[in-house]
């Protein structure tokens, strides 16, 4: 192209009217069973040693649970792979307890009779030497990677509405199942919500999809009659109209489910875990990882910062990306996108936001958010974000305690 020719392109305008869809899966979905087991192991080990290193993967299938991965921690396992007294039994009890709490007492998957295999082993010394702090270095990131955080003011939780409603439908059905109000429901379920947006805001549901495992004596119509009232309770008034399409158990029968119907693996529902497709994802899963793994802790920090930006009224939507190199404490980059809705220069946020969490090193994130606690199993179903902070430190990344500082920064 000749040097004197300049090509310009007008910035793309955000669409104001469109359809968007997100899905969720229940605590009894086979992948979520795996996630909850992995995070229950993280909690078990952090309760013994807050500095434990854990990378636990879980496989679930017909009456079988297998865990594998790398661990290190005082009172857990030595460097030769020898378990501390009683720990192996605690691990098995923890696994069976998760399956029991979810509600699996089926012929094909039962907490009491399933076969359990434990293949955890000591963490690689080569990984440890890069991550651990030393006399001349701060604690480094547990791996390279990119992490994202997002917030939107379209719901009170500052989450995408399609995902928030998808989660809440399944939580309502699970609560009814656990309470005994709906004894015909079984643990495995999926939901999907499509909303119509006008002027960038959700206004109505165009389709609702719910597939839920059920007792063999229920027909498709009976399942639909159970499910619909819970959906109607979750969605705002007026969102369901005469034109809303309903698809309740569209295959007709869903009796065989959970790990008996489909194998489950840790980390296969990362979009359900985060923002339902409304924001980018760096690719790393959260569950089964201790908080030195930036796949988890830095993604939590990005959500924390993005949520505070939106809660402070500095933007309607905010996406934050951060990147790391394994063994290096300082982030390689910080990127902020306010999607054309900002009331502050994005470059200012890129410079100042890391300072609010101690520079965003892995150690600073863990200390600021108090992540070295057994708080993770509860996050492994119905989303890691959009939850209410707990008194014991759970979901600390959902706090909005930076709002005053951000308002002062904008002023």
Annotated binding site for L-methionine: 70, 123, 262, 293
Read off the pLDDT band of 8 (50, 70, 90). very low
Q: What is the per-residue pLDDT for 11?
A: 45
Confidence of residue 1 (pLDDT cuts 50, 70, 90): very low
15 vs 308, residue with greater confidence:
308
Which one of 289, 307, 317, 377 is the catalytic residue? 289
Contact 188, 26 (CB under 8 A): yes
What was the pLDDT predicted at 5? 47
Tokens of 367: 């200390």
Residue 10 has pLDDT above 80, yes or no: no
Mean pLDDT of 297-314: 98
**Eight-class DSSP state of 123:** P
Q: Report the pLDDT averaged over residues 237-256.
A: 97
Q: What is the pLDDT of residue 142?
A: 74
The candidate with the shortest Cα–Cα distance to 214, out of 225, 200, 199, is: 225
For residue 123, the model assigns a pLDDT of 84
323-337 pLDDT tens trace: 999 888 999 999 999
Tens-digit pLDDT profile for residues 368-388: 999 999 999 999 999 999 999
Neighbours of 64 (CB within 10 A): 15
| DSSP code per residue over 169-203 | HHHHHHHHHHHTS-TTEEEEEEEEEEEEEETTEEE
Q: Confidence class of residue 75 from pLDDT cuts 50, 70 and 90?
A: very high
The 10 Å Cβ neighbour count of residue 16 is 10
pLDDT for residue 79: 85
112: helix, strand or coil: coil
Question: What percent of the chain lies above the pLDDT cut of 70?
Answer: 93
Residue 58 near residue 66 (C-beta atoms within 8 A): yes
Which residue ranges make up the annotated binding site for ATP?
Answer: 29, 188-190, 262, 268-269, 285, 289
pLDDT of residue 143: 81
Q: Please give the pLDDT value at position 311.
A: 98
Active site residue 171: no
Q: What is the mean pLDDT of residues 90-102?
A: 98
Mean pLDDT of the chain: 93
Q: Kindly name the residue from 128, 172, 224, 263 that is annotated as catalytic.
A: 263
Cα distance between residue 290 and residue 257, in whole Å: 30
Work out the pLDDT band at 2, boundaries 50, 70, 90: very low
Quick one: which of 9, 22, 25 has its CA closest to 279?
22
Active site residue 215: no
Decide if 29 is catalytic: yes
> What is the widest separation between alpha-carbon atoms in the chain?
76
Percent residues over pLDDT 90 in the chain: 88
User: Is 324 buried (19+), middle (13-18) or exposed (0-12) by CB count in 10 A?
Assistant: buried
Question: How much is the pLDDT for 170?
Answer: 98
Assigned token pair, 196: 């119509």
Give residues with Cβ within 8 angstroms of 192, minimum separation 6: 21, 22, 23, 24, 166, 207, 208, 209, 210
Whole-prediction pTM value? 0.93
Structural domains of the chain in order of their starting residue, each with its CATH number: 17-26+161-257 (3.30.300.10), 30-131 (3.30.300.10), 145-154+294-410 (3.30.300.10)
pLDDT at residue number 131: 59
User: Mean pLDDT over residues 125-142, rounded?
Assistant: 58
pLDDT digits (tens, 9 = 90+) for 18-34: 999 999 999 999 999 99
In the block, tokens 């899963």 appear at 285
Q: Is 289 tagged catalytic?
A: yes
344 pLDDT higher than 80:
yes
> What local confidence, expressed as pLDDT, does residue 349 receive?
98
Segment 110-131 shows an average pLDDT of 82
Least confident of 3-7, 180-184, 333-337, 405-409: 3-7
CA dist., res. 191 & res. 183, Å (int): 19
Name the active-site residue from 23, 27, 57, 143.
Answer: 57
pLDDT at 138: 59
Catalytic entry in 53, 196, 214, 268: 268
SS3 19: strand
Number of CB atoms found within 10 A of residue 263's CB: 15
Instruction: Provide the pLDDT for residue 411.
Output: 87
Of residues 90, 105, 262, 346, which has the active-site annotation?
Answer: 262
Clarify whether 254 is annotated catalytic.
Answer: yes
- Torsion sign, CA atoms 356, 361, 362, 366: negative
Element (H, E) at 98: helix 87-102
Residue 295 appears among annotated catalytic residues: yes
Is 290 in contact with 46 (CB distance < 8 Å)?
A: yes
pLDDT at position 13 over 80: no
**Averaged pLDDT, 266-286:** 97
Alpha-carbon span 169 to 192, nearest angstrom: 9
Cα–Cα distance for residue pair 382/190, rounded to 1 Å = 11
CB 148 within 8 A of CB 320: yes
pLDDT band at 290 (very low <50, low <70, confident <90, very high): very high
Which residues make Cβ contacts (< 8 Å) with residue 175, sequence separation at least 6?
A: none
Q: CA 281, CA 272: separation in Å to the nearest integer?
A: 11
Please, which pLDDT band fits residue 130 given cuts at 50, 70 and 90? low
């Amino acid at each position: 192209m000749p040097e004197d020719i300049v090509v310009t392109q007008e910035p793309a305008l955000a669409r104001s009217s469109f359809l968007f869809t997100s899905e969720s899966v229940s605590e009894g979905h086979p992948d979520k069973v795996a996630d909850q087991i992995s995070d229950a192991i993280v909690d078990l080990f952090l309760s013994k040693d807050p500095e434990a290193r854990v990378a636990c993967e879980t496989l679930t299938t017909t009456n079988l649970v297998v865990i594998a991965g790398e661990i290190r921690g005082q009172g857990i396992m030595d460097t030769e792979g020898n378990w501390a007294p009683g720990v192996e039994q605690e691990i098995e009890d923890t696994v069976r307890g998760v399956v029991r709490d979810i509600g699996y007492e089926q012929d094909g998957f039962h907490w009491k009779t399933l076969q359990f295999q434990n293949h955890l082993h000591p963490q690689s010394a080569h990984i440890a030497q890069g991550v651990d702090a030393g006399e001349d270095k701060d604690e480094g990131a547990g791996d390279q990677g990119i992490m994202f955080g997002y917030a939107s003011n379209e719901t009170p939780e500052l989450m995408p509405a399609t995902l928030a409603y998808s989660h809440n439908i399944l939580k309502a059905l699970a609560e009814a199942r656990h309470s005994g109000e709906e004894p015909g429901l079984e643990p495995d379920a999926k939901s999907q919500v499509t909303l119509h947006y006008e002027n960038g805001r959700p206004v109505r549901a165009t389709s609702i999809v719910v597939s839920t495992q059920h007792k063999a004596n229920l027909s498709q119509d009976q399942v639909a009659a159970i499910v619909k009232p819970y959906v109607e309770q979750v969605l705002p008034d007026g969102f369901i109209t005469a034109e809303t399409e309903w698809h309740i158990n569209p295959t007709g029968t869903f009796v065989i489910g959970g790990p008996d119907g489909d194998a489950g693996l840790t980390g296969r529902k990362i979009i359900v875990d985060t923002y339902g497709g409304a924001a980018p994802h760096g690719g790393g899963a959260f569950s089964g990882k201790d908080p030195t793994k930036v796949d988890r802790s830095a993604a939590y920090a990005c959500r924390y910062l993005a949520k505070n930006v939106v809660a402070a009224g500095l933007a309607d939507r905010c996406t934050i990306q951060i990147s790391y190199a394994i063994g290096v404490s300082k982030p390689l980059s910080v990127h902020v996108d306010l999607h054309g809705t900002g009331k502050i220069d994005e470059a200012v946020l890129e410079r100042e936001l890391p300072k609010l969490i101690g520079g965003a090193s892995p150690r600073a994130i863990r200390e600021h958010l108090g992540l070295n606690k057994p708080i993770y199993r509860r996050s492994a179903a119905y989303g890691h974000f959009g939850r209410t902070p707990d008194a014991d430190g759970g979901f600390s990344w959902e706090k909005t305690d930076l709002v005053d500082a951000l308002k002062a920064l904008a002023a």
